[in-house]
Every structure is written in structure tokens, then in C-alpha cells.
């Protein structure tokens, strides 16, 4: 009996081991394989709307709102979903947003960079996930972008600078003191300042007395411009490198009762700028075409998502607006 019991126990143990091994084998056979990371960034399924993220600088400036309008129109026409992120002038927020959109599986990233070098790591993550990257306005040097869209900011700065040189020669006997209201946290506007200064460097009668930092915020620009004007009573010209700077400079000239002695040159029309052109104290404004920039950015993204080739650099021309051609822009601000 004892021998039979041991044999039965052995057979029972063998059976248990056999069943356990079968169950283990069955479990491992049906376990799903982990999806590779690139599956999250594959082209949208047939019939699904492509999702395009537009990471912008802020939505205070009319410029960026016009860009969003153009992007939205192109997204609607192309059957895409446009997701807009407002960074509120915070470069770190742009980086975080890009990384989040990659995780969420968007199909393309459009970036209007604040910090053109600091944003590179986030854009590299997007490229590593096989996403098309389109840079608008700010040029990202040696960046991973597939397409660069916008104006030649330094070249346009030189162009408006030469306009100032010619104006001083014709209207101020070739001599004038100039102040600049910039945004030192903006790579774009720093290029506009560099180009402007290069144009003025060849004119012995023009002196740049100071550059103040408006930080791309209207209230800051207003305070900086007021200090610039009060601190330099013999200054005859103010150059503003962006929309907040221009609005601040115009408001400062008005608040300081300097409309008869200070002439303003700058970037990006607004209703206030047009009124000042009519008033004679804003002489010339570099007008970009942000709506077209936004439109072309989304169109380029859709082509890249679909596997089509796109030119790596797409330049959108500028217009220098003066009293002679301002009428053609009035309807945009009514």
C-alpha cells in the first residue's frame, strides 16, 4: 500500500506540472506584443482628420492671431484639425507643449519659436517620432525643421534701416539721433535690430543713442519708449521692432506730446499705427503677411503628412507701408 501511494503521488505531481506548463505556454502565446513607438506617429487612418499642432508665441499681438486665421482656413480646406497652443511669451511652455503633443500623437508640429536654440531639443523629439516640423517666422539655426516659412527678418531690418537713412537725408539734413524699442527676448526682433543697425552704420550723421527692451509686451514697451523719449529730448526717430513695440512707441510719442518732433518707424500694422500714419508721426511700417504664413504652414504640413515633397525654405515678401500706400491695408483693420 505504501508503494502504491508513492506511485500515485508521483503521477499526481507529474500531472500538475504538465497542466501548469500548458497554462504558462498558453498565456505567453496570446500576450499582445508591445506596439513600437513609431506606431503612435503613423499617418492618420484613412478617413481620419490629420491633427496639426500650432505652437505660437502669444495671442495678444494681432500678428499671431492673423497667422492663426490663415492656418485655420487652410486646415478647414484640407480637412485637418488645428490645435493652437498659446505660450504667453514663455519659451519653456513651448518646449513642454511640443513634447505633450508628440505623446498625444498629433501628425505635425508648427512652431513659432521664442528661443530658437532652446526649442531644438523638443523639436528633435518630434522628429524622432517621425513628425513633420514646420518653423514659421523665427529661423531655427541648424534645426530639425523640414520647412522654414517667413520673411528674412535681418534683410527686412536692413531694408527699413535704409529707408530711415534716405528719410534723414531728405528731411533732416542727413543728421538725426535714433532710439530703438526692441524685444531682447525675441531672436526674431534681435535680427531686425541687427539689420537696421547695419544699414545705419554707413551714415555718419545718424547716431543710435539707446536700445530699450519692451520684452514683446505692450505695457513694457510703452514704459520703455516713454523713458527713451524723456531721457533723450533731442532724439528725432524711434524704430520699433515688432507690433507691441510699435504700439508702445506710438502711445509714448502721444503721451509725451512728441508727435511734432519724433518720427516713428516700425513693424506690423494695427489700427493705431494706421491712425498715426495719417497723423504724420509714423512714417513707415514693415508689413508682413502673417495670414499667408499660417496658411502656407498648414498646407506644407498636410503635404508632408501625405508624403509629398515641400521646398525647405518658403519666403513670404514684406511691404513697407507709408502714407502713399496705406489705403490698401485699411480694410484689414476696420
pLDDT of residue 32: 33
State the pTM of this model: 0.78
pLDDT band at 48 (very low <50, low <70, confident <90, very high): confident
How many whole angstroms separate alpha carbon 149 and alpha carbon 138?
8
Residue of 126 and 333 predicted with greater confidence = 126
How many whole angstroms separate alpha carbon 15 and alpha carbon 64?
73
pLDDT at 42 over 60: no
pLDDT of residue 40: 36
Residue of 70 and 25 predicted with greater confidence = 70
**pLDDT > 90 in the chain, percent:** 84
In the chain, DSSP assigns E strands to: 51-56, 81-86, 108-111, 133-136, 147-150, 176-182, 206-213, 237-240, 263-267, 282-287, 313-315, 319-321
Please report where in the chains the cell 503613423 appears, as a residue: 42
**Which tens digits make up the pLDDT trace of 209-263?**
999 999 999 999 999 999 999 999 999 999 999 999 999 999 999 999 999 999 9
pLDDT at 41 over 80: no
How many whole angstroms separate alpha carbon 21 and alpha carbon 308?
52
Number of other residues whose CB lies within 10 A of the CB of residue 19 = 10
Q: Is residue 244 classed as helix, strand or coil in its secondary structure?
A: helix
Residue of 114 and 37 predicted with greater confidence = 114
Please, what are the domains in the chain?
48-150+290-316 (3.40.50.2300), 153-287 (3.40.50.2300)
Number of other residues whose CB lies within 10 A of the CB of residue 153 = 26
pLDDT of residue 334: 86
Cell of 213: 527692451
CA dihedral angle for residue 98, residue 102, residue 104, residue 105, rounded to 10 degrees: 140
Instruction: Name beta bridge partners: 239.
Output: 180, 265
| Mean pLDDT value of segment 195-199 | 98
**Which tens digits make up the pLDDT trace of 16-25?**
444 444 433 3
pLDDT of residue 118: 97
**pLDDT > 70 in the chain, percent:** 86
pLDDT of residue 151: 94
176-182, strands of its sheet edge to edge: 206-213, 176-182, 237-240, 263-267, 282-287, 319-321
Amino acid at each position: 500500500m505504501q508503494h502504491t501511494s508513492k506511485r500515485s503521488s508521483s503521477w499526481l505531481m507529474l500531472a500538475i506540472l504538465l497542466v501548469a506548463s500548458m497554462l504558462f505556454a498558453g498565456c505567453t502565446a496570446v500576450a499582445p506584443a508591445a506596439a513600437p513607438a513609431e506606431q503612435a506617429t503613423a499617418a492618420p487612418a484613412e478617413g481620419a482628420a490629420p491633427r496639426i499642432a500650432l505652437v505660437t508665441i502669444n495671442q495678444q499681438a494681432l500678428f499671431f492671431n492673423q497667422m492663426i486665421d490663415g492656418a485655420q482656413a487652410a486646415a478647414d480646406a484640407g480637412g485637418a484639425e488645428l490645435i493652437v497652443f498659446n505660450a504667453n511669451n514663455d519659451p519653456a511652455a513651448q518646449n513642454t507643449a511640443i513634447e505633450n503633443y508628440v505623446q498625444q500623437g498629433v501628425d505635425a508640429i508648427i512652431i513659432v519659436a521664442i528661443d530658437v536654440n532652446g526649442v531644438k531639443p523638443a523639436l528633435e523629439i518630434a522628429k524622432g517620432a517621425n513628425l513633420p516640423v514646420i518653423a514659421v517666422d523665427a529661423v531655427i539655426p541648424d534645426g530639425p525643421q523640414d520647412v522654414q516659412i517667413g520673411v528674412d527678418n535681418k534683410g527686412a531690418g536692413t531694408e527699413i534701416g535704409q529707408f530711415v537713412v534716405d528719410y534723414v537725408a531728405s528731411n533732416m539734413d542727413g543728421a538725426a539721433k535714433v532710439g530703438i524699442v526692441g524685444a531682447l527676448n525675441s531672436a526674431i526682433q534681435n535680427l531686425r535690430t541687427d539689420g537696421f543697425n547695419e544699414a545705419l552704420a554707413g551714415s555718419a550723421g545718424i547716431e543710435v543713442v539707446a536700445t530699450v527692451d519692451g520684452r514683446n509686451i505692450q505695457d513694457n514697451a510703452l514704459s520703455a519708449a516713454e523713458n527713451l523719449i524723456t531721457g533723450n529730448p533731442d532724439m528725432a526717430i524711434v524704430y520699433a521692432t515688432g507690433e507691441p513695440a510699435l504700439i508702445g512707441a506710438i502711445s509714448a510719442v502721444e503721451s509725451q506730446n512728441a508727435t511734432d518732433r519724433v518720427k516713428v518707424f516700425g513693424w506690423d500694422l494695427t489700427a493705431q499705427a494706421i491712425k498715426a500714419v495719417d497723423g504724420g508721426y509714423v512714417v513707415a511700417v514693415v508689413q508682413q503677411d502673417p495670414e499667408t504664413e499660417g496658411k502656407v504652414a498648414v498646407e506644407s504640413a498636410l503635404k508632408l503628412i501625405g508624403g509629398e515633397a515641400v521646398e525647405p525654405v518658403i519666403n513670404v515678401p514684406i511691404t513697407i507701408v507709408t502714407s502713399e500706400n496705406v489705403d490698401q491695408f485699411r480694410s484689414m483693420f476696420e
